[in-house]
A = this chain, B = another copy of it.
Amino acid sequence: MKKPNILVSNDDGIEAPGLVNLVSELKKFANVFVSAPYRQQSAVGHSITIFYPIRAHEHYINGEFFGMAVDGTPADAVKIGVLNFYKEVKFDLVVSGINHGSNTAINIIYSGTVSAATEGTILGIPSMAISLNTFEKADFLEPSAMAASLIKDIWENHQLITSKKILLNINIPNVRTEEIKGVIVTKQGKSYWEDSFEVRSDPNGRDYYWLTGKMEILDESEEYDIAAVRKNYISITPLHYDLTDYEVYKEIKNLKFKI
Contacts and interface: CB of A to CB of B under 8 A. Distances in A.
B55 A208 contact: yes
A109 interface: yes
Nearest to A51: B42
A27 interface: no
A187 B43 contact: no
A243 B114 CA distance: 11
B257 A183 contact: yes
Contacts of A208: 53-55
A167 B245 CA distance: 9
A244 B197 contact: no
Interface stretch (A2-10, A16-24, A90-98, A156-164): A156-164
B259 A153 contact: yes
Contacts of A48: 43, 45, 110, 211
A137 interface: no
Copies of this protein in the complex:
2
Contact of A146 (B73, B166, B259): B259
Interface string A227-259: 000000010111111111110110111110111
A46 interface: yes
Nearest to A54: B209
A149 B258 contact: yes
A38 B206 CA distance: 17
A30 interface: no
A106 B40 CA distance: 26
Contacts of A199: 84
A258 B238 CA distance: 17
Given A47-B110, A185-B255, 5 more contacts: A56-B209, A76-B211, A122-B193, A177-B259, A237-B249
Identify the 5 closest CB pairs spanning chains A and B, nearest first: A45-B45, A45-B46, A240-B245, A238-B248, A183-B257
